[in-house]
Structure 1
Amino acid sequence: MKSFVIAIFATVVLGSGVSAQDMTGSQMFRQNWTSAETASDGLGPIFNEASCHACHWFGGGARVRIRPDGEVAGAGVLLRHTFVDGKGDPHYGVQLQNKAVDGVEPEGVADLTALQAGDGLTRFLASVRFASGPGRTAGITMSLRAAPALDSTALVARVSAAAIINGADSQDKNDDGISGRVHLLQVPGEKPKIGRFNWKATAARVEDQVANALWFDMGLTSPAHPAPQGECPSRQYDCLEASGNQPPDLAVDFDETRIATLSDHVRSLAVPPTIPE
């Protein structure tokens, strides 16, 4: 079985007069970031993709293609591994990063195969090959995640807290086939906030969603995630050593202004027109 290769579809070439700080939100979204040793930004040391655009093609979600032999290729699909308490694997963290900067081993690769089930649904079987470390830890739950479409982000952000609370129906008492509850996020020193974004509504604002994606998917730092090693757990020594080589005066890759600029671009992505039946 061949490796599942996630392709990078677009590269933005900036003119010599455009610095990283002067990028527009659209340029940030499409930019292929590099490691801190070769530019002012700090991709990695481990990561899944080098740009937002690679997983969210023109603001959309994951793109997968099933080949005739059942093998799956595409972009925007990754593997999460967590304990029941929500904590990540002690060696691999919360997310399996399949790419790394020079001198660092990626964590592993998930080879995907599509299976046609008897109920007419297509299911995906993931065969994980760990490139470093001890392999799967007992008690870890592994699950595939597909990048969501971002073109309705602004609409979700505008839904009032009252509407979300009033629409909660964890037991599907109105029998409409939809059940769900409000995820209240506990913030130290602040009132609980309603989660709206990410898997299981773990981010309250678009800015939180953007900062999480930058850090987990690309290893890019921000005030919310300032650790230069990205999602390198303490047992990945080569990853930690690589992050320690960054200049000591290097600020976070995305300060509050850049987070706001990129978030504004995400909010600007248009909702696609309704497709007639």
Structure 2
Amino acid sequence: MNRKSLLLPVAITMATIALATPAIAATDYSQPEPGEALPGGSTSHHKQLNINAFSQSSANMSFEKELDFKLGNGIFKKIWVPAPSSTTASDGLGPLYNARACQRCHLKDGRGHPPEANWPEDNAVSMFLRLSIPPQNDLQRQQLESGKIGVIPEPTYGGQLQDLAISGLAGEGRMVINYRESIVTLADGVKVSLRHPTYSIAELNYGPLHPQTMVSPRVAPPMVGLGLLEALPATAIEALADPEDRDNDGISGRTNRVWNSFSQQQDLGRFGWKAGNPTLIQQAVGAFNGDMGVSTPFAPAASGDCTAQQTDCLRQPDGNTEQQDNAEASAEMVRLVEFYSRNLAPPARPDFDKPEVLKGKAVFHQSGCAACHQPSFTTASRRDMPEQSDQLIWPYSDLLLHDMGEALADNRPEFLASGSEWRTPPLWGIGLTKTVSGHTYFLHDGRARNLLEAVLWHGGEGSVSRDRVINLPTADRQALMTFLESL
């Protein structure tokens, strides 16, 4: 890769984007569809499906680019330290933070998880709480209406609760989770227990929260296939939106429109639990700054998420150096992390053609799951993303917002997303969660302890499909789980 190309945002013109539409789903599921063995098209890797299954580079990547991928991986794993330090390429952590490395949350590029117990028995290193408040005045209402910001941060604690701090400072507080259980009885008599979380914050070290604070728990999502999602034409995603439910199928997915800080205009939201980010680089910049307190040329505040009320935090030394573009992480470092994230390849599916898997696929479609979990797309022609260009992919997501009902609601809006709307999460690789991440916790806060629980939590637009699954014969339900585990 040309190093200079890493330093500037890539300008995308209409000439670089080919219109594409979702692939038409088959109606005969007794045989596999062409291409579904390779969820990421030619990027799909055929390496061993072990703990490193989500950490492989695009299979169609040139040998010359492997160095950039490995450099990006190194920065992704880099342990940041507080400034000042003799290791000037690694200092600048905090002052407040949630993790010391990208890898700490996205361990093996996989899915985060809720703590097994509250602090101090366990930490919450791959999960945190988003914080915001409703607009308090006309200026804040105008800021939200302009689309340039998606939330109003909590005035004392900022946009997220940072439970860790450098020496000499206190972390902001500790997330506390309490669960209660409820029972869902399936048509065949099987009883499934669902755990309902409630969230609070203990040990608030900088004063009380605003009385209208809205809290949203978030676990780190898996990294696999992100570049392919970025390569999807916006038109293909927007074509699936039906906010007024004009076809009367009960599904009214809609797009989130978010602020693109690089193009300085509104853009289609693709990434994050509520589709609050438009691009991988913006997602990376936000993680550098918010999760680790590391400044970049694109978000130069060396104090990270420190607020005006946290005066001791603002006084801390920074690690900004001329060698790092007057920041703590240089533009090139950010671009290498972006390149690495873009090229984390989905693994090929070895069991895609097994009869039980195909039977489960039929149940998946018959239950209506594919109405939101759109199976396949063709990516755009992108000169700047040759590995992801013109690929038939199988993410099982429409990347749209859907109202998932009150039980899953965080009651915290983000840009156009309401407090009960969530972006459809891609399902590719989901069956490898246990192998890669060592657990089977699903949904935005990890409340579901397995895939069946995750299905049973679907409400709102997903309630019809959920009820169909509840009423499935035992063999069909087992086939559905087998299909999901094959993805």
Into which bin does the TM-score normalised by the smaller protein fall?
A: 0.7 to 0.9
Q: Determine the structure 2 residue equivalent to 1:5.
A: none
- Structure 1 178/271 Cα, relative in aligned 2: closer, same or farther at 3 Å? farther
User: Cα offset for 1:164?
Assistant: 1.5
> The residue matched to 1:25 in structure 2 has which SS?
helix
Structure 2: 5+ residue stretches without partners: 1-69, 136-150, 185-192, 350-428, 432-481
Task: Count the aligned residue pairs.
Answer: 253
User: Cα offset for 1:260?
Assistant: 1.1
C-alpha contact 1:111 1:126 (8 A) present in aligned 2: yes
- TM-score, structure 2 as length reference: 0.48
Q: Name which of 124, 127, 144 aligns with 2:200.
A: 127
Q: Distance in 2 between matches of 1:45 and 1:191?
A: 31
> The residue matched to 1:265 in structure 2 has which SS?
helix
Q: Name which of 153, 178, 201 aligns with 1:88.
A: 153
- Structure 1 61/91 Cα, relative in aligned 2: closer, same or farther at 3 Å? same
User: Cα offset for 1:154?
Assistant: 1.6
- Structure 1 74/131 Cα, relative in aligned 2: closer, same or farther at 3 Å? closer
Q: Determine the structure 2 residue equivalent to 1:43.
A: 93
Q: Larger Cα Rg: Structure 1 or Structure 2?
A: 2
> The residue matched to 2:180 in structure 1 has which SS?
strand
Q: Determine the structure 2 residue equivalent to 1:157.
A: 230
Output one character per residue of 1:118-157: Cα deviation in whole Å (capped at 9) or x when no partner. 4432222223113412222111111211111111212211
Q: Name which of 222, 236, 240 aligns with 1:167.
A: 240
C-alpha contact 1:62 1:74 (8 A) present in aligned 2: no
- Structure 1 172/52 Cα, relative in aligned 2: closer, same or farther at 3 Å? farther
- Structure 1 131/171 Cα, relative in aligned 2: closer, same or farther at 3 Å? same
User: Cα offset for 1:111?
Assistant: 2.3
1:42 partner amino acid: G
Deviating more after overlay: 30-39 vs 213-222: 30-39
C-alpha contact 2:260 2:266 (8 A) present in aligned 1: yes
Q: Name which of 33, 45, 58 aligns with 2:108.
A: 58
- Structure 1 247/76 Cα, relative in aligned 2: closer, same or farther at 3 Å? closer
Query: Quick check: 1:222 aligned with 2:287?
Result: no
2:243 partner amino acid: S
Choose between structure 1 and 2 for higher RCO, CA contacts under 8 A separated by at least 6 residues.
2
Query: Quick check: 1:256 aligned with 2:306?
Result: no
Q: Determine the structure 1 residue equivalent to 2:79.
A: 32
Q: Percent identity?
A: 28
- Structure 1 213/186 Cα, relative in aligned 2: closer, same or farther at 3 Å? closer
Output one character per residue of 1:212-244: Cα deviation in whole Å (capped at 9) or x when no partner. 11111000111221011110000001101114x
> The residue matched to 1:111 in structure 2 has which SS?
strand
More strand by proportion, 1 or 2?
Answer: 1
2:281 partner amino acid: E
2:182 partner amino acid: A
Q: Distance in 1 between matches of 2:319 and 2:78?
A: 21
Q: Distance in 1 between matches of 2:94 and 2:277?
A: 22
> The residue matched to 2:218 in structure 1 has which SS?
strand
Q: Tell me how large the CA RMSD over aligned residues is.
A: 2.7
User: Cα offset for 1:270?
Assistant: 2.3
1:96 partner amino acid: L
Q: Distance in 2 between matches of 1:178 and 1:270?
A: 30
User: Cα offset for 1:201?
Assistant: 2.0
